[in-house]
Amino acid sequence: MNGLKSIVKHLEKGVMVIAAAAVSMFILTACSASGQSPVKDSSPEAETEGEKEADADKSADQLVVVGFSQLGAESDWRSAHSQSIRSELTPENGFQLLFEDGQQKQTNQIMAIRTFIQREVDAIALAPVTESGWDSVLSEAKEAGIPVILVDRRVDVSDENLFECWIGSDFELEGKKATQWLHQYTESIDYPQDQLHVVNIQGTIGSSAQIGRSKGLRQACDRYGWDLMQEVSGEFTQTKGREVMASLLRLYPDLNVVYCENDNEALGAIEAIETAGREPGLDLLGGQILILSFDGMNPEALQYAREGKIACIAECNPQHGKRLADVIRRIREGKQPEKYSYVEEEIFSGCDAIKTLTVDGKEYPVTLLQ
Amino acid sequence: MKSAKKFKLSNMSDTNLLLTITIVVFFLMYIGAMLFQGKGFLKAQTFFNILNANAALIITACGMSLVMITGGIDISVGGVAALVSMCCAVYLDYHGGNVFGAVLIALGIGLAFGIVQGLLVAYLDIQPFIVSLAGMFFARGMTTIVNTAPFNVANEAFIAVKETRVTVPGFGSYNKLGKYVPAYVEIGVIVALLVVILLFCMLRYMKVGRNFYAVGGNSQSALMLGINVRRTRFLSHLICSLLAGVGGFVYFMHVGSGSASHAMGMEMNAIASSIIGGTMLTGGVGNIIGTFFGVLSLSTIQNIVSSAGLDQAWWTGITIAAMLCIFLVVQSVVMARKKKALG
Amino acid sequence: MSSETKIQTRKVKGGSIFRNQIFIPVAALLLLALFNLIADPSFYKITLGYNSTGDPVLSGYLMTILDYGSELAILAIGMTLVTAASGGQDISVGAAIAIAGSVILRVLCGHDSRPETLQAPIIVAFLVACVVAMLFGAFNGALVAYFKIQPMVATLILFTAGRSIAAWINNNELPIISDPSFAIYGGFIPGIPIPTPFFIAMICVVITMLALKFTNLGLYTQAVGINESSSKLNGLNPAFIKFLSFVLLGLCVAVAGLIKVSRLSSINYSVIAKDIEMDAILAVALGGNSLGGGKFNMLASILGAYVIQFLTTTLYKFNVQSDALPAYKAVVVIALVVMSTPKAREFMSKIGKKLKPAERSVA
């Protein structure tokens, strides 16, 4: 009883002390805030010198500070992507990485970029969660003289000069590759093109991967006369993929091609198909459901591709780390990097019927999974 | 103001004691960040960025505190904010509306939710948790029904409002290029500060404000004092949802897009800020200024975690939870003291 | 005022079927069943198929309900106890499931995140998860029972930190178990065509029912919930009962977590069991239990859980987008809760009385 009372009393005394401290600290803060400008006033003249100094610092092993705003950790691909960047931008390679997980929220990412700007990092890398709504924060970065490098997804801004360059995958080409594989494969087994009933399990609506891959599919459907029955979002997750697939199977008993916009969705779809008593596979004539997928990161999905449960996987290469490090070095050296650079990507299949694909007049070899 | 409070510290009321703790913790944290992290935190703009990013949260948290003071809870605020931003986005973009109309829509949605939830809670005696849970579900669901895909608003008048920056003289700084960048806040911050001041005055100086405390403290004795308990409860939910509408619009102004995933988890952040700010869920105790500092503390933690280069997002969750835990235990000690004083 | 309403409720109780507590979930179930029967009888079709390993598997909407409603039913058991004893709800169950699931995977995987073989027996992993989940339950319980913090606020702490802790347990990796024996708990036992989660749920229900029948758990919980101080005067320890209810909920969470991770053979920290706390609380409310604590009906809660899954599945069948689901759920919930308020019940029993003489005259 008494103990508690004395604790409370102590607490009160403590509060009094702390309150006093806080008041004085507050005054200090105000001083330092206003006192900041005189200190910095001299900087305009010292500007050019400062830059030289920075160069000297670099040779003296000064680390390049890079702020990276990752959009989240929703899929295996994303984890591999983060891992690639983390393992490349290390102190050994001359970088200090500030990694920010946006947890799928644009506001978090905007906040992160503003924090980077205030910290005066040397470069900002951004994997945006959506394409739109970046104008103001990117122009703030530009005003602050910090180059912004986009990775993976693109942004939709009024002025392309707001970002330095973009590194990522050609999602539309991936879509074209997968659909071309389906076209060539069905031709090879003499399956009528107008008998292909396709459903599309889309990625997170509005993401670059979803837009590009969906576009690739729609073009192919128009060109080859496939029946595109429905497009629903599976949000790039296995759970959602299964959920969506289960309801699609009930709605369209005659569907025979599933176009999954990433591997996790394909895994979910396969579960749903098997639970419903159907079979995923390459034998369209025998009533199996053919599955096309993307990424090629998940070992389980690759195993399924070997078994033929997934007919073909268009790779989406997450190894952006090295390219990002190169680009930042180039910018530091004062060179202009290429505005859009694509990473190399393959196409995997467990079926050796198709050896090469012809997309837009260019040949792509199909990597056979053993 | 502070020194006046110090003299009366020994017989300070619960509200004031909790408030003082909150403010002190916030300043300690911020100063700690300045000392140990330097760089970003020494710039005034970092502080203003915290305000910019959290204006919407400040507004909704104020509403939340009000409901909590009357002993209720409203977990629909995040959903309402998302619904508001989506409806405004659709209205501005697809229907070519004007900004004024969008504001009216925001207020209308907030009012509608407030009236329905208030009636159900106050006049049908349904637990506020269940009512607002249904409200949250409804708002989130409606948001996707209005429009599934997230999209950006291209309405020029709106973008002009969104990009308007109120510069704060004397706090600017020089960036790496040696350019002077004036410190600024967004319009939403002005709205948020107005809301804080209005609610503070209402709770402190108006009769209706004191009714909220009375109802939350002990509804039976409030009834005996002739306070219309039902109407007071209704009013608290009405104001809270209305503020959620306003907060939704401010949020919308900050991000400039509509999406079903907007303001996800805002209700929990609002509750957490209120608690950190010294509002008790049991009702009767709380302060709007405390809530304001609660929001600031919450986002300062997030900022510190990110500037410290702690790369895993889970650090934020854990530090906030730890802080909540400490505050709750302090509150329970205070409650124990109060009980002892009574008995 | 609150005592006034309580007296009213008691007066209304007894007699008419409108006044029985289990009436609400049963009525809701019948309504939904009838709706489906009229709209599309194929809802009730159950087909026997074979899964990839060649084992017989029943599939159909009813099976989906039994399957996915089960973890909700398990959670509803614990949530009912917590609600009855403390008069509040635990909103951290979703986050706690993430923790329990993460622990299971961590124990099974050992150091490698993609092991070929299990590094520990599943039962060991499950028991470790039980202990961990009960510890977190104890943390919540201690805050509520001994620090007298409102349950919703106390559990807000774990709600905020839980998923982070879950990610931390596995170093933010996404472990995948390829061993098929692990998938049994969320799938099918070879040779038995009914989904395993249903059996697990039934085992939990039977144990709970036996515990309520042969121990004083139910009586004490209700006594504490109805009037804490009078139960104290009668020699009970209210704080301990509250504490115990949270620990028991932790156990339920561990079981639900096992089912959840077994379904995927993996885990996604930010998505797993998302919003399940809301569904679990709804199940309790749908069961007609007062969320303010006190008397409870366990069977009604469990039935409530399946009703919610029934509703979800029905909505899916009518091709409602999964993101739009909550809007419809909300309408149903509000309708049910309004129906169960004393005022509405009084109104209904009045109508019932008016109808009865009419029936007699017809006869």
Confidence of residue A23 (pLDDT cuts 50, 70, 90): very low
What's the confidence (pLDDT) of residue C53? 63
For B:283-312, CB contacts with A below 8 A are 302-303, 306-307, 309, 311-312
Residues in C closer than 8 angstroms to B135, CB to CB, are 330
What's the confidence (pLDDT) of residue C204? 94
What's the confidence (pLDDT) of residue C1? 39
**Burial class of residue A240, CB neighbours in 10 A (0-12, 13-18, 19+):** buried
CB B250 within 8 A of CB B58: no
Angle between helices C61-86 and C93-109 (to 10 degrees): 110
What's the confidence (pLDDT) of residue A43? 39
CA B95 – CA B210 distance, rounded (Å): 44
Q: Does B221 touch chain C (CB under 8 A)?
A: no
Interface test with A, best of B45, B47, B262, B306 (most A CBs within 10 A): B306
- Helix, strand, coil fractions of chain B, as percent rounded to 5: 75, 5, 20
* Residue C318 pLDDT greater than 80, yes or no: no
Q: Does B326 touch chain C (CB under 8 A)?
A: no
Please identify which residue in the block is written with the tokens 């809870």.
Answer: B73
For B:164-193, CB contacts with A below 8 A are 170-179, 181
Q: Which two tokens stand for residue C86?
A: 């403390």
CB A152 within 8 A of CB A339: no
- Please answer yes or no on whether B321 and C160 come within 8 Å at the CB atom: yes
B83-92, C175-184, C191-200, C338-347: least confident range: C338-347
Q: Which two tokens stand for residue C81?
A: 């106890």
- C9 or B332, which is more confident: B332
- Please answer yes or no on whether C51 and A74 come within 8 Å at the CB atom: no
What's the confidence (pLDDT) of residue B14? 67
CB A129 within 8 A of CB A102: yes
CA distance B265 to chain A (A): 11
Q: Which two tokens stand for residue C152?
A: 């919703």
Q: Does C319 touch chain A (CB under 8 A)?
A: yes
- Please answer yes or no on whether A15 and B20 come within 8 Å at the CB atom: yes
What's the confidence (pLDDT) of residue A149? 93
Collapsing DSSP to helix, strand or coil, C202 comes out as helix
Residue among A272, A248, A250, A265 at smallest CA distance from A199: A248
| Interstrand relation of A362-365 and A257-260 (parallel, antiparallel or unpaired) | unpaired
Would you give the DSSP letter of residue C170? T
What's the confidence (pLDDT) of residue B12? 57
What's the confidence (pLDDT) of residue B87? 94
What's the confidence (pLDDT) of residue A19? 44
Q: Which two tokens stand for residue A289?
A: 């459901």
Instruction: Provide the mean pLDDT of chain A.
Output: 80
CA B22 – CA B20 distance, rounded (Å): 5
* Residue A3 pLDDT greater than 50, yes or no: no
Q: Which two tokens stand for residue B178?
A: 């040696």
Torsion angle, CA of B319/B321/B327/B331, rounded to 10 degrees?
Answer: -170
Domain boundaries in chain B? 48-263+280-286
- Please answer yes or no on whether C322 and A76 come within 8 Å at the CB atom: no
Q: Which run of H or of E encompasses A293?
A: strand A290-295
CA A220 – CA A176 distance, rounded (Å): 7
CATH class of A171-317+346-368: alpha beta
Residue-by-residue pLDDT tens, chain B, 343 positions? 444 444 444 455 666 777 888 888 889 888 888 887 766 777 888 888 889 889 999 999 999 999 999 988 898 999 999 999 999 999 998 877 888 999 999 999 999 999 999 999 999 888 888 888 889 889 988 998 888 777 778 788 888 888 888 888 777 777 666 777 788 888 999 999 999 999 999 998 888 888 999 898 888 888 888 889 999 999 999 999 999 999 999 999 988 888 877 887 788 889 889 988 888 877 888 889 999 999 998 888 877 776 666 655 567 778 878 878 887 787 777 777 766 776 6
* Partners of residue A198 on adjacent β-strands: A228, A257
Q: Which two tokens stand for residue C75?
A: 């959670």
A211-225, A242-256, C12-26, C250-264: least confident range: C12-26
What's the confidence (pLDDT) of residue C241? 92
What ipTM describes this predicted complex? 0.72
* Residue C109 pLDDT greater than 50, yes or no: yes
Cα–Cα–Cα angle for C233, C234, C235, nearest 5°?
90
A75-84, A343-352, C206-215: least confident range: A75-84
- Please answer yes or no on whether C324 and B145 come within 8 Å at the CB atom: yes
Residues in A closer than 8 angstroms to B333, CB to CB, are 4, 7-8, 11
C138 — phi, psi (to 5°)? Answer: -65, -35
The amino acid at A26? F
What's the confidence (pLDDT) of residue C140? 93
A54-58, C203-207, C224-228: least confident range: A54-58
Rg (CA), chain A: 27
CA B82 – CA A229 distance, rounded (Å): 31
* Partners of residue B167 on adjacent β-strands: B184
What's the confidence (pLDDT) of residue A290? 93
Residue A33 has its nearest CB partner, among B52, B151, B171, at B171
What's the confidence (pLDDT) of residue C19? 58
CA distances, A164 to each of A54, A169, A324 (Å): 20, 17, 12
| Interstrand relation of B151-152 and A347-349 (parallel, antiparallel or unpaired) | unpaired
CA A174 – CA A210 distance, rounded (Å): 11
The amino acid at C13? K
CA B104 – CA B92 distance, rounded (Å): 12
* Residue A24 pLDDT greater than 60, yes or no: no
CA distance A16 to chain B (A): 7
For B:271-300, CB contacts with C below 8 A are 271-272, 275, 281-282
Q: Does B220 touch chain C (CB under 8 A)?
A: yes
* Residue C108 pLDDT greater than 80, yes or no: yes
What's the confidence (pLDDT) of residue A241? 87
- Closest residue of chain C to A77, computed from CA coordinates: C174
What's the confidence (pLDDT) of residue B308? 67
Confidence of residue A46 (pLDDT cuts 50, 70, 90): very low
Please identify which residue in the block is written with the tokens 């087994």.
Answer: A189
End-to-end CA distance of chain B: 32
For A:123-162, CB contacts with B below 8 A are 130-133, 136, 143-146, 156
CA B322 – CA B76 distance, rounded (Å): 25
* Partners of residue B181 on adjacent β-strands: B173
Residue among B293, B274, B254, B290 at smallest CA distance from B47: B293
What's the confidence (pLDDT) of residue C4? 40
Confidence of residue C16 (pLDDT cuts 50, 70, 90): low
Residues B73-125: pLDDT tens digits?
898 999 999 999 999 999 998 877 888 999 999 999 999 999 999 999 999 88
What's the confidence (pLDDT) of residue A132? 75
What's the confidence (pLDDT) of residue A29? 39
- Closest residue of chain A to B303, computed from CA coordinates: A115
Number of Cβ within a 10 Å radius of residue B174: 19
Number of Cβ within a 10 Å radius of residue C183: 18
Q: Which two tokens stand for residue A51?
A: 């830059």
CB neighbours of C89 closer than 8 A, spacing ≥ 6? B129, C79, C82, C83, C151, C152, C155, C277, C281, C284, C291
CA distances, A141 to each of A104, A127, B27, C288 (Å): 21, 15, 28, 56
What's the confidence (pLDDT) of residue C41? 82
Q: Does C291 touch chain B (CB under 8 A)?
A: yes
CATH class of A63-169+319-342: alpha beta
What's the confidence (pLDDT) of residue C80? 93
A362 — phi, psi (to 5°)? Answer: -110, 145
Q: Does B261 touch chain C (CB under 8 A)?
A: no
Domain boundaries in chain A? 63-169+319-342, 171-317+346-368
- C271 or B12, which is more confident: C271
Residue among A42, A85, A140, A102 at smallest CA distance from A328: A85
What sign for the dihedral angle of Cα C86, C91, C93, C95?
negative
- Please answer yes or no on whether A11 and B312 come within 8 Å at the CB atom: no
CA B272 – CA B301 distance, rounded (Å): 13
Interface test with C, best of A275, A278, A300 (most C CBs within 10 A): A275
What's the confidence (pLDDT) of residue C26? 86
What's the confidence (pLDDT) of residue A96? 87
CA B318 – CA A61 distance, rounded (Å): 35
Residues C23-82: pLDDT tens digits?
778 888 888 888 888 888 877 888 777 665 667 777 778 888 888 899 999 999 999 999
Q: Does C139 touch chain B (CB under 8 A)?
A: no
Residue B163 has its nearest CB partner, among A5, A136, A143, at A136
Please identify which residue in the block is written with the tokens 């009405």.
Answer: B238
CB neighbours of C107 closer than 8 A, spacing ≥ 6? C119, C120, C124, C125, C128, C129
Would you give the DSSP letter of residue B11? G
Collapsing DSSP to helix, strand or coil, B182 comes out as strand
What's the confidence (pLDDT) of residue C359? 53
The amino acid at A79? S
What's the confidence (pLDDT) of residue A115? 84
* Partners of residue A201 on adjacent β-strands: A232, A260
Confidence of residue A20 (pLDDT cuts 50, 70, 90): very low
* Residue C321 pLDDT greater than 90, yes or no: no
Q: Which run of H or of E encompasses B36?
A: helix B14-37
Residues A111-164: pLDDT tens digits?
889 888 888 889 999 998 877 778 888 988 988 889 999 998 888 888 888 899
- C284 or C332, which is more confident: C284
- The proportion of chain C whose per-residue pLDDT surpasses 70, expressed as a percent, equals 89
The amino acid at A53? E
What's the confidence (pLDDT) of residue B65? 94
* Residue C106 pLDDT greater than 80, yes or no: yes
- The proportion of chain A whose per-residue pLDDT surpasses 90, expressed as a percent, equals 22
